[in-house]
Chain A
Amino acid sequence: MIPLSYMGRLVRGGERLSYGHYAVDAPTWQALWHTSEVALPMLSFWADERRAYGLFLEGDQPLLVSTAIDDKRYVGPSQRYPVAEWGERVAFDLYGVEAMEVPGDGRSALDGGAWDITWPLSQRPGPGGNHGGAPKVSKAPLWIDGNGVTGVFGLVPDMQQGGIRAEQCEAGLGHRGVTAQLLGRTPEEAMGLVARMSAGGYVAYPLALARALMQAEGRRIEPALRDSWMVLLEIERVSLHLHDVMLTARAMDAGVLAAHCTHAREALARVCVENGATRRLTDMIRKDGYRRGVEIVPLAQAVLREMKPRLSKLALLVDVYAPRLAGLAVLPVELARGLAIGGPVGRSSGRSLDLRRAENGMRLDALRATGASAGDARARQAVRMTEVFDALRLIERILGSFGLGEADEAYPAIPNVTDQEGVGAAESARGDVWAWVRLRDGRVDAIHMRDPAVPLLAGLGRIMKDVEVAMMPLALRSLGVSTAGVAQ
Chain B
Amino acid sequence: MKSRTISLVEAFLDVRRWRARSVASGGCTQLPIGLYFLETGSCEGCAMELEALCGGAYALEQNGFRRVLQPEDADWLLVTGAVSRRCAERLDQVWRAMPAGRSLIAIGRCAVDGGPFAGGYATLGGLAGLTRVQRSVPGCPPEPAAILAALVAFREGKAA
Contact = CB atoms under 8 A, between A and B. Distances in A.
A associates with B: yes
Contacts of A151: 39, 42, 44, 47
A117 to B, nearest CB: 5
Contacts of A247: 51
Contact of B40 (A174, A198, A260, A282): A174
A251 to B, nearest CB: 11
B56 A263 contact: yes
**Which of B47, B48, B122 has the largest count of A CB atoms less than 10 A from its CB?**
B122
A255 interface: yes
A430 to B, nearest CB: 12
B128 interface: no
A483 to B, nearest CB: 8
A168 B153 CA distance: 42
A226 interface: no
Contacts of A152: 39-41, 81, 84, 87
A145 B90 CA distance: 10
A174 B41 contact: yes
Nearest to B19: A259
Contacts of B15: 255-256, 259-260
B143 A279 contact: yes
A313 B18 CA distance: 15
Nearest to B53: A262
B64 to A, nearest CB: 20
Nearest to B50: A150
**Which of A117, A192, A260 has the largest count of B CB atoms less than 10 A from its CB?**
A260
A177 B48 contact: no
Interface stretch (A5-13, A108-116, A371-379): A108-116
Contacts of A120: 120-122
B89 to A, nearest CB: 8
Contacts of A51: none
B39 A181 contact: no
B95 interface: no
A31 interface: no
A415 B87 CA distance: 48
A112 to B, nearest CB: 5
A215 to B, nearest CB: 25
Interface in A189-225: 192-193, 196-200, 202
Contacts of A316: 4, 7-8, 11
A175 B122 contact: yes
B22 to A, nearest CB: 18
Nearest to A180: B120
A243 interface: yes
Nearest to A111: B86
Contacts of B24: none
Interface residues of A, number: 55
B43 interface: yes
A177 B45 contact: no
B41 A117 contact: no
A317 B10 CA distance: 11
A232 interface: no
A258 B39 CA distance: 22
Given A150-B44, A181-B117, A258-B55, A280 B12 contact: no
A266 interface: yes
B141 A175 contact: no
Contact of A196 (B12, B14, B116, B120): B116
Interface in B10-69: 10-12, 14-15, 18, 37-45, 47-48, 51-52, 54-57, 69
A178 interface: yes
A116 B54 CA distance: 37
Nearest to A113: B86
B141 to A, nearest CB: 7
Contact of A282 (B44, B45, B81): B45
A200 B44 contact: yes
Contacts of A265: 52
B145 to A, nearest CB: 9
B85 interface: yes
Contacts of B37: 145
Contacts of B42: 151, 174, 176, 484
Contacts of B112: none
B133 interface: no
A115 B85 contact: yes
A487 interface: yes
B41 A487 contact: yes
B82 interface: yes
**Which of A112, A145, A258 has the largest count of B CB atoms less than 10 A from its CB?**
A145
B160 interface: no
Given A151-B47, A250-B54, 15 more contacts: A115-B85, A150-B44, A152-B41, A172-B86, A174-B39, A174-B41, A174-B84, A174-B86, A196-B140, A246-B51, A263-B55, A266-B57, A316-B4, A316-B8, A317-B8
What are the nearest 9 A-B pairs in CB distance? A262-B55, A177-B122, A174-B41, A259-B56, A199-B45, A176-B117, A114-B85, A120-B121, A177-B120
Interface of B: 4, 7-8, 10-12, 14-15, 18, 37-45, 47-48, 51-52, 54-57, 69, 81-82, 84-90, 94, 115-117, 120-123, 140-141, 143-144
12 contacts: A115-B121, A116-B121, A150-B51, A152-B87, A173-B84, A175-B41, A176-B42, A177-B120, A177-B121, A199-B43, A259-B18, A484-B42
